[in-house]
């Protein structure tokens, strides 16, 4: 089945308009940045065609904006469809590798089968390292589905967290990245949303301890004291974040790629007169990456890739 790879490009270049103050979370940054990159690609690649607009599709009668045909601004490489097409020639960082701290966070989505996680790990790292022009990364964080902190107080949230997710699946997945760590492709490994009891069980079963536990306490209160104590004992750094636990739902992905007024026109809708790819699309993973310039204290490059599978009708 075809796979679709979506990309935002460098969101730092997109300017502050992408960010939503107050309620801003990474799922908003992801969806808004994808829309912005799709539109920019449609305009750039269409302008390069002889007629200057690239609209080879049929005229639309439903009031939606006209778009260039998808094959103008997307690219198919064997079984992968890149949305939009990526100019790898312009990829890379401005300074030498040693000047950067590169962090990558991979979200395994609840709609994707756990047995395919090795594919998601390899594909996401291939894309990020190619985009940044590097061969290794400093910190690789895994975010598993169905794990979060939520409760009336931090103790309640910590207790609830202990029952979430699947210890067996998480440990098995961790073994896959331990191999990459031992090969030197990754300097440090991290996890997300592990409370004290869940983290304790995890540490008993893995070879390489996580260096970081990234937690979101927006729906809780403070960092649970038992987690703070355990992390200190084991030398694990606790970092807070505001990433969404539901970063790319199926409905959002179809809206992004569909024929609606804010869609990219890649997927067919029932009322689209046959335009676009037909089939059921399933989001599988999202990867977020940042390249931080250590000496200057700024983020030079930040972006996302997302992977989905299309079961063609």
- Mean pLDDT in consecutive groups of 10 residues from the start of the chain, 313 residues: 95 57 66 96 80 48 67 94 94 94 98 97 98 97 94 89 97 98 97 97 98 84 90 96 90 94 89 77 97 94 97 81
36: which strand partners? none
- Predicted TM-score (pTM) of the model is 0.91
Give me the sheet containing 212-215, strands edge to edge.
Answer: 75-77, 80-83, 3-7, 298-312, 279-293, 100-108, 137-143, 186-192, 212-215, 237-240
According to the model, what pLDDT value does residue 222 have? Answer: 81
User: How is residue 55 written in tokens?
Assistant: 């609209």
pLDDT digits (tens, 9 = 90+) for 97-151: 999 999 999 999 999 999 999 999 999 999 999 999 999 999 999 999 999 988 8
Rg (CA), the chain: 21
Query: Per-residue b/e over 73-83, b at no fewer than 16 CB within 10 Å?
Result: bbeeeeeebbb
């Amino acid at each position: 089945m075809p796979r679709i790879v979506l990309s935002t490009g460098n969101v730092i270049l997109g300017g502050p308009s992408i960010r939503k103050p107050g309620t801003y979370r990474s799922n908003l940054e992801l969806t808004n940045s994808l829309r912005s990159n799709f539109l920019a690609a449609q305009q750039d690649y269409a302008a390069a065609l002889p007629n200057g607009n690239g609209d080879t599709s049929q005229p639309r009668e439903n009031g939606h904006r006209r778009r260039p045909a998808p094959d103008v601004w997307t690219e198919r490489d064997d079984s992968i469809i890149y949305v939009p097409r990526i100019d790898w020639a312009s990829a890379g960082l401005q300074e030498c590798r040693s000047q950067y701290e590169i962090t990558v966070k991979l979200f395994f989505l609840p709609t994707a089968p756990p047995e395919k996680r090795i594919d998601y790990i390899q594909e996401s790292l291939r894309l990020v390292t190619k985009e940044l022009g590097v061969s290794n990364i400093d910190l690789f964080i895994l975010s598993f589905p169905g794990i979060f902190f939520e409760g009336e107080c931090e103790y309640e949230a910590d207790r609830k967290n202990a029952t979430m997710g699947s210890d067996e699946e998480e440990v098995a997945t961790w073994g896959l990245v331990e191999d990459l760590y031992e090969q030197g492709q990754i300097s440090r490994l991290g996890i997300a949303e592990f409370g004290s009891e869940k983290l304790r069980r995890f540490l008993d079963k893995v070879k390489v301890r996580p260096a970081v536990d990234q937690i979101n306490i927006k729906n809780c209160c403070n960092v649970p004291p038992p987690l703070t104590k355990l992390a200190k004992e084991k030398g694990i750094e606790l970092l807070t974040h505001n990433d969404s636990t539901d970063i790319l739902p199926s409905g959002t992905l179809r809206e992004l790629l569909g024929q609606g007024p804010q869609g990219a026109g890649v997927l067919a809708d029932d009322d689209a007169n046959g335009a676009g790819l037909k089939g059921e699309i399933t989001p599988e993973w999202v990867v977020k990456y940042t390249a931080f310039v250590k000496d200057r204290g700024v983020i030079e490059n930040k972006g996302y890739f997302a992977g989905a599978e299309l079961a063609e009708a």
